[in-house]
A and B are shown apart, each in its own frame.
Chain A
């Protein structure tokens, strides 16, 4: 293998890779793309809750982990009549569907402790933060459990795209970049068409239609030019908006010059929202992403043992025995037994736990590295993005190490404080943030963000930073499958291994998504039920 100092370009981009690249405007997500490259299902295959009828009385299942995967299993298996017990390492349920609120204390690996200083009602979702409408498993449980949803805006035409090397570092409105790129490309193609440049590629008859389409799509004038007028201002916005009476005459805005736009690289951001996973409608649970799993946990609360650190999983022909350290009982070593075990512990942790599984499953568990990701929540004294810049929800993209700034999709216009997602990089930048102390990360994010919103300097109040490699219960953000690893190990990861089977986002074709955890759990318990009832 040739030693290189950069990540090799990939020959084939997936939807999410493409979107991740587009989304970060300058490719800070390259490692993320490489890591999540393959195996995305076209859509969630959810066809309703599983039919687990006819469960033999008294058959027991021990579930390890109280995130989405474990809780879905506990809920459905419990309803079907199985005897269920859940062991959870943390003091609460939800796993990576996690929300940090004011008053929470978070201690990461290394002992770095942060006390969250957000005002009431404000939060950071350090993990998942958006749910596409077609993530049908998650949506099903939201609806069944009465979890209230709010719209999540992936695209805000009035948010920014920003590059520190373009337009003197001045952020540009998304709608300007989008309208002008489309307009200029339409104009260019029209010129080519009129000069016969499309002959041989498109029939004469089709060229007429194409020119008509380009004129319409790009907001070109009668001469197929893209320039300042009412049509283009209706796309990119006006210099002075139309109003009423004598003062109401609008002033048209002037498009960005094509060459400048091309050289800016900001066109990387115009595809945001066009990928399947980011198309309208997307949702967020009201009040924080933990609402889904917490609603499930409420249904099975008497079955969950918290503060239980699993240290060994042992199976034999009679069942499965799991040894754990009970943090609530002063570190007492205890055991739990069941006929079957559904293990949702991330492979990053499970690879370190003593267990007797087949060599194939063991190899699969050991083959999966965990990706870096970083988020910071920043509270400001006022919602300047709304008050000064008319940005209501949605996302600004930048090539700064923070990658993006996402605005709260709720409580618009409220007079008090507001919390932004102030950074969400993957790859090298995420590693670098992880390597810093939390307060230093927050400070850096405020400095970077101030290049886009100078108000940061005056209005910053408090922040909390989560680097996923330092999260004590995951040691990383999500399982980073590659094409080769999936081909070699994925099926072995999914098999029922004696009396043990696995679930979680790492056992799915939807890595890092909550839906992956839900789907893998439903798939696992359906197969387990088939195995049990076949006997």
Chain B
């Protein structure tokens, strides 16, 4: 595993805002959650975490959505190139997006790695729990 490329957070922040977020037609969503715990998300697997948390806003296909405001698309999103950027967003939140700092370092790494290797994203490097630890403040 090689470390992820650091990138200016400010630059990424602006790039994320301009990400296109098409309005989807009715989509099917076969994934059902497990409702394992009222107080925390116990899932360790990146795909499970995505299905339990992220897709509520970023949608099952990762394409985001737009109403009065938008949820950025994660699908084929060049802003995910630097793995620390999505780690920062998950850990610290941004604007309306809540912080998920209560996820473990391993969970954050797992879900970020899942997003960076799915939905048309093909980033070969992975983020580690050490990378996540470094983003916490």
Residues of A contacting B60 with CB < 8 Å?
A: 110, 435
Within 8 A of B (CB), among A311-353: 345, 347-349, 351-353
Residue B95 is within 8 A (CB to CB) of chain A in the complex: yes
Within 8 A of A (CB), among B1-43: 17, 23-29, 31-35, 37-42
Given contact pairs A3-B105, A7-B102, A470-B56, A401 touches B68 in the complex (Cβ within 8 A):
no
Residue B124 is within 8 A (CB to CB) of chain A in the complex: no
- Chain B min CB distance to A162 (Å): 13
Q: State whether A436 touches B59 (Cβ < 8 A).
A: no
- Chain A min CB distance to B136 (Å): 4
Of all chain B residues, which has the CB nearest A89?
B68
Residues of A contacting B76 with CB < 8 Å?
A: none
Interface range for B: 35 or more
Q: What is the CA–CA distance of A347 and B66 in the complex, to the nearest angstrom? A: 16
**B interface footprint on A201-242 (CB within 8 Å = 1, 0 otherwise):** 000000000000000000000000000000000000000000
Q: State whether B25 touches A111 (Cβ < 8 A).
A: yes
Q: State whether B39 touches A30 (Cβ < 8 A).
A: yes
**B interface footprint on A430-443 (CB within 8 Å = 1, 0 otherwise):** 01111111001000
**B interface footprint on A1-45 (CB within 8 Å = 1, 0 otherwise):** 101111110000000000000001011101000010000000000
- Total interface residues on A, using CB and 8 Å? 58
Of B47-55, B77-85, B113-121, the segment with at least 4 beta carbons within 8 Å of chain A is B47-55
Q: State whether A5 touches B23 (Cβ < 8 A).
A: no
- Chain B min CB distance to A479 (Å): 9
Q: What is the CA–CA distance of A349 and B34 in the complex, to the nearest angstrom? A: 30
- Chain A min CB distance to B135 (Å): 10
Q: State whether A428 touches B24 (Cβ < 8 A).
A: no
Given contact pairs A7-B39, A352-B95, A429-B38, A434 touches B56 in the complex (Cβ within 8 A):
yes
Q: State whether A111 touches B24 (Cβ < 8 A).
A: yes
Q: State whether A475 touches B57 (Cβ < 8 A).
A: yes
Residue A96 is within 8 A (CB to CB) of chain B in the complex: no
Residues of A contacting B53 with CB < 8 Å?
A: 431-432, 435
- Chain A min CB distance to B57 (Å): 5
Q: What is the CA–CA distance of A8 and B68 in the complex, to the nearest angstrom? A: 34
Q: State whether A352 touches B38 (Cβ < 8 A).
A: no
Q: State whether B29 touches A437 (Cβ < 8 A).
A: yes
Residues of A contacting B51 with CB < 8 Å?
A: 435
Partner of A469, one of B17, B37, B57, B129: B57
Given contact pairs A434-B56, A435-B33, A435-B52, A369 touches B99 in the complex (Cβ within 8 A):
yes
Residue B98 is within 8 A (CB to CB) of chain A in the complex: yes
Partner of B136, one of A1, A5, A399: A1
Q: State whether B33 touches A432 (Cβ < 8 A).
A: yes
Residue B93 is within 8 A (CB to CB) of chain A in the complex: yes
Given contact pairs A30-B38, A352-B17, A401-B38, A4 touches B102 in the complex (Cβ within 8 A):
yes
Given contact pairs A368-B96, A470-B57, A401 touches B69 in the complex (Cβ within 8 A):
no
Of all chain B residues, which has the CB nearest A7?
B102
Q: State whether B38 touches A435 (Cβ < 8 A).
A: no
Q: What is the CA–CA distance of A28 and B67 in the complex, to the nearest angstrom? A: 29
| Residue with the greatest number of chain A CB neighbours at <10 A, chosen from B60, B66, B67 | B67
Residues of A contacting B59 with CB < 8 Å?
A: 109-110
Across the A-B interface, give the 6 residue pairs with the lowest CB-CB distance, nearest first. Answer: A472-B67, A434-B56, A348-B96, A28-B38, A109-B65, A437-B29
Ordered by A's residue number, 13 sampled pairs between the chains whose C-beta atoms are within 8 Å are A4-B104, A6-B39, A27-B39, A110-B24, A345-B68, A349-B68, A352-B17, A428-B40, A428-B41, A433-B33, A436-B29, A437-B27, A480-B98
Contact residues of B with A, CB < 8 Å?
A: 17, 23-29, 31-35, 37-42, 51-57, 59-60, 65-71, 93-99, 101-105, 107, 129, 132-133, 136-137
